Amino acid sequence: MRATPPVALAFKYSKLSSTASSIRLLELVPSVSNRINSTLKEFRLNEAPSFNALSYTWGSPLTHLSASSSLLQQIKARDGRHEDVHHKRSNSITCDGAALPVTTNLRDALLMLQKTDLENATASDTKYIWIDAICVNQNDIAERNDQVSLMSDIFRSAHSVVVWLGPEDEFTADALKVLETIGSLPEDAGESAEEDYTRLFDGDNCATYARLGISPLKYHHWLGFLAFINRPWFERAWVVQELALANAATVICGKHRIPWRWMSRTLRFIQTTRWYHHLSSAKLRHVQELRDHSGIYHELLQSDISIKMTALYLDRTRMRVADSQRPRGDQPPKNGLPLRTLIETHRFTKTTDARDKVYALLGLADQNGAPFKSLSEEDTIRADYNLSTQQLYLDTTRAFLLSSRNLGFMSNVQDPSQTVTEGLPSWVPDFSVEQQPYPLMFRGFPRWRANGRGGPRWEPDASAMRDGLLRVQGICIDRVASVVKLQNECDNPSEFWSDIVKVASELNDRCPISYFSGFHPSRVEVLWRTLMTNTYQRKCPAPSSCGELFIDYILNLQIRHSLSPWSIEVDFQPHQAHVAEDIVPQWHTLLAAEPEDSPYGLALYKERFSEIVGRMFKGGYNPVRLSQLHHELENSSGSVRRVFRTQSQLLGTGARSLQAGDEIWILRGASVPFVLRRMANGRYRLVGEAYVHGVMVGKALTMGFEVQEIVIE
């Protein structure tokens, strides 16, 4: 009879001599087997030997697109239960002779570290490594609080950060081709190619690649990169700090080592050239070459995947942190970035613990800036896992509002339908969820001052805020009269545009409020400026040339209903949307009613129609120039903001949850209007910010409205 192997004792942590200044480091015992032996040693951080730090994901390292691959099937079979692969510590390693549970991905990372000569990856002969799940007793809340506060110093002290992306999959080789090719370009290559960026997806023209001096990348290479950049590591909140503070960083995927400079240059190139507009399955699935020969990318092309802003901002923050630490003239270097900037920039990241959406960024924050400089020791923001998520988010918002003495931070409140954290006042952002769309301040903030300039300031009531009540002063300028369905609420695109035309037709011939020049724009101009929040390529107000682009855009949607003669390989495919023929007369009526001096009348519409159709049949029409306008519309209205008309014939876009009867307020201390909903008890709930054409630069303040003090709960 075979003897039963002895069961290893469960690992027990020894208390750190000082949780605020000491750390544990892991030493792996070299081995060629799959058994991991290690030991934990304690050091004072300022006396620790050379060590590396591991950056990884606690759950599955692969995208959901690899779920049907043989690789994940092997992992699934090896571990028995699929859910354990993603979430549970279903594996164990030997640490100081005892069994220490770890997740599957961490076990794989440890095997990589154990078997691989890291000198090639890190240029270091260090034998120690710091890993959060092992070196911190996660079950000791007091230790966890102190060690989380120490993490920024740990990563600053590490010789190098090893980024473990997990095993390679069927997409990795194509992704590496992109990283090798773009990553080898000079740092300013993206700027020189900016004017030609749209040529990337013109399959018959490789001018951009030739100009850059590189071999052309194929569509499948970019699809592989899409899958690669959508691995979970790129959207973890903690990796923002881990990467930003790294003295050096090397990315490891399976057996491949990727210098971070390749990642950095590729991400910067994509952002500078705005190629991220093109890199999505929604657009690439219409490329004829990929439709005919999708290969391993069939499932990816049917999914909804794109270049995530989390990855683009990850590298940007790393560069900004490095830049902040350089002295400027007589000014000493800063100790980090503004916490508000960090929270807003990395709102799209994900965490297992919702409190880490704040705690993961504290180590990068300038402790001498807002909100810290104006907080008492009692009110300061620090890692404390005894606090509930609701209390942390309330305290954080209160700190920002009190330190800035304005209400701008309320723009970070998500649509009410998105809120998942229970018990939050309506004016407190739920940082645990993504905010879609971005706040209006990211689009045209420098030009928006709905509350005017130099007027009375907001007077906060700090005590009421502790109880979840926000006292504000402002004017109610209007009420929502009617709303337009969102695109995803309509049975077809024609219904959405029919609603748009109907609401626009109900407006006065000219906007009742003049804009910058004192001119009262026509209803069609009000329409296109509102649909794009009067912003084009971050310029506000949008140039008047956008009006003609808008007419072309509408014509494309209308003509698409009957004709599709142009190449499907161009960038502009607004989800294959059509505007049915029965909507055309409505547009004709709207345009025909334009004032005589309007440049957007029926004459322009007919002229552009004839030119576009003629060029289509000659094969010389390419609507790619409309892609930027399409991007602006998608981020300003469509399926992300609801278009509405007010009782006084103003047009605006706002939160998806707004409804008829909601009130439009301009509040002291707020640069944009807010939509509020009056409750039965006389208090209000915040619905969200709004763009209302005509009132974004303080015009409403001259109209004699009475200032009121109200309470938002």
Q: Which residue has the tokens 């909100």?
A: 371
Asked if 247 contacts 160 with a C-beta cutoff of 8 angstroms, the reply is yes
Q: Which of 508, 484, 404 is nearest to 659 (CA)?
A: 484
Using CA atoms, how far apart are residues 143 and 230, in angstroms rounded to an integer? 33
Asked if 509 contacts 522 with a C-beta cutoff of 8 angstroms, the reply is yes
Using CA atoms, how far apart are residues 61 and 43, in angstroms rounded to an integer? 30
Q: Give the side-chain half-sphere CA count within 13 A for 315.
A: 19
Using CA atoms, how far apart are residues 339 and 337, in angstroms rounded to an integer? 6
Q: Which residues pair with 249 in a beta bridge?
A: 161
- pLDDT of res. 325: 80
- pLDDT of res. 403: 92
Report residue 461 as tokens. Answer: 């009531």
Q: Which of 698, 570, 550, 556 is nearest to 636 (CA)?
A: 550
Contacting residues for 12 by C-beta, under 8 A, at least 6 apart: 98
**Phi-psi label, residue 694: left if phi above 0, alpha if psi -120 to 50, beta otherwise:** left
Asked if 169 contacts 177 with a C-beta cutoff of 8 angstroms, the reply is no
SS (H, E, C) 117-141: CCHHHHCCCCCEEECHHHHCCCCCH
> 523-531 and 584-592 are packed helices; what angle lies between their axes, rounded to 10 degrees?
120
Using CA atoms, how far apart are residues 419 and 413, in angstroms rounded to an integer? 9
Q: Which of 151, 154, 155, 153 is nearest to 383 (CA)?
A: 151
Q: Is the peptide bond before 416 cis (omega within 30 degrees of 0)?
A: no
Residue 41 DSSP code = E
Asked if 609 contacts 405 with a C-beta cutoff of 8 angstroms, the reply is no
Asked if 365 contacts 324 with a C-beta cutoff of 8 angstroms, the reply is no
Contacting residues for 409 by C-beta, under 8 A, at least 6 apart: 340, 397, 400, 401, 429
Length reported for the chain: 713
Asked if 535 contacts 632 with a C-beta cutoff of 8 angstroms, the reply is yes
Contacting residues for 329 by C-beta, under 8 A, at least 6 apart: none
Q: Which residue has the tokens 């949850």?
A: 657
Residue 207: CB atoms within 10 Å: 12
Asked if 640 contacts 531 with a C-beta cutoff of 8 angstroms, the reply is no
Helices (H), 419-562: 441-444, 462-466, 493-505, 523-531, 545-560
Positions of the chain with pLDDT under 50 = 1-5, 68-70, 81-85, 117-123, 193-194, 203-204, 563-576
- SS3 of residue 645 by DSSP: strand
Q: Could you please report the per-residue DSSP string of 182-245?
A: HHTS-TTHHHHTGGGGGGGG-TT--HHHHHHTSPPPPHHHHHHHHHHHTSGGGGBSHHHHHHHT
Burial 436-469 (b: 16+ CB within 10 A, else e): ebbbbbebbbeebbbbbeeeeebebeeeebeebe
Q: Which of 489, 653, 623 is nearest to 557 (CA)?
A: 623
Beta strands in 3-50 (DSSP E): 22-28, 37-44
Q: Give the side-chain half-sphere CA count within 13 A for 463.
A: 0
